[in-house]
Amino acid sequence: MLPAERQSRILKLARRDGTVRTIDLAKEFEVAEETIRRDLDLLARLGHLRRTHGGAMDTSAPLAELPYSERQARQLDEKIAIAREATRFLMAGETILLDASSTALELASNLPLGLPLRIVSYSLPVVERLAGQDAIELVQLGGTYEARGRRYSGQLTELALRALRIDRFFYSGAGLDPVRGVSEPNPEQSRLKRVMIEHSEWNCALIDHTKLGKQADFFFARPEEIDQVITDREGQVFASRLPARPGFQLACSR
């Protein structure tokens, strides 16, 4: 295969998936990783890709919202600890809504075995992770599929949501500001999560310490609307400064 042809195919993969990894491309094209690095460097110099650690990402991807595969790998230990703490707030027979965040995926991965729940989500990874578990009644909210975030959204998603009773909604965001609340860089996701906040009986923000005090462009949950915040140990001091209100709770992972 000529270098130009290989580079063209790499670019198509990056635009389809949002991000590509050097090691995966080397296996895909059966060439050395150094060859792929040179391809990625060239595509980056031409402005087609943005180099990242271990690969590259499509330049059309908003800087503030990383592709799902890259988000999933960040602060993984903190996300697992937060998810395990969140399982303490689950009750048998409840209907639980999980957003499309990588932290919610860890919650799906750490559900107590045998606990009967109805899990509702618009996240394809969450659905894949829970498929086949006998104690779980799994409901996928459909809609318009977004490959970069591996999630569904749009009017059909909202219509399906409104047909269900939601006891607890677990979600994350790009940042939690103590005055303005939780925000997202994606306006469609922010609007959808706003609908979910309003439709749920109780909601819980799963926020690791790197997001505390940060802001993205679109806010969907004000501090006084959040029933529960779960963060990791490093985030305890900041989270304790959130405005208190009746029913509001703060928990930190152990």
The position carrying tokens 């090691």 is 23
pLDDT, tens digit, for every residue of 120-172?
999 999 999 999 899 999 999 999 998 878 899 999 999 999 999 999 999 99
Question: What CATH code would you report for 71-252?
Answer: 3.40.50.1360
Q: Residue for token digits 């310490």? A: 209
Numbered ranges of CATH 3.40.50.1360 in the chain: 71-252
User: DSSP letter string over 37-94?
Assistant: HHHHHHHHHTTSEEEETTEEEETTS-TTS--HHHHHHTTHHHHHHHHHHHGGG--TT-
3-61 CATH fold = Arc Repressor Mutant, subunit A (1.10.10)
At 20-48, the pLDDT tens digits run: 889 999 999 999 999 999 999 999 888 88
- 98: β partners: 121, 170
Residues of the chain with CATH 1.10.10.10: 3-61
Q: How far apart are CA 179 and CA 202, in angstroms?
A: 20
Q: Rounded to an integer, what distance in angstroms lies between the CA atom of residue 211 and that of residue 208?
A: 6
Decide which of 59 and 63 is more confident: 59
What distances in angstroms separate CA 36 from CA 10, 14, 69, 182, 194, one per listed residue?
A: 9, 13, 19, 39, 42
Residue 19 DSSP label: E
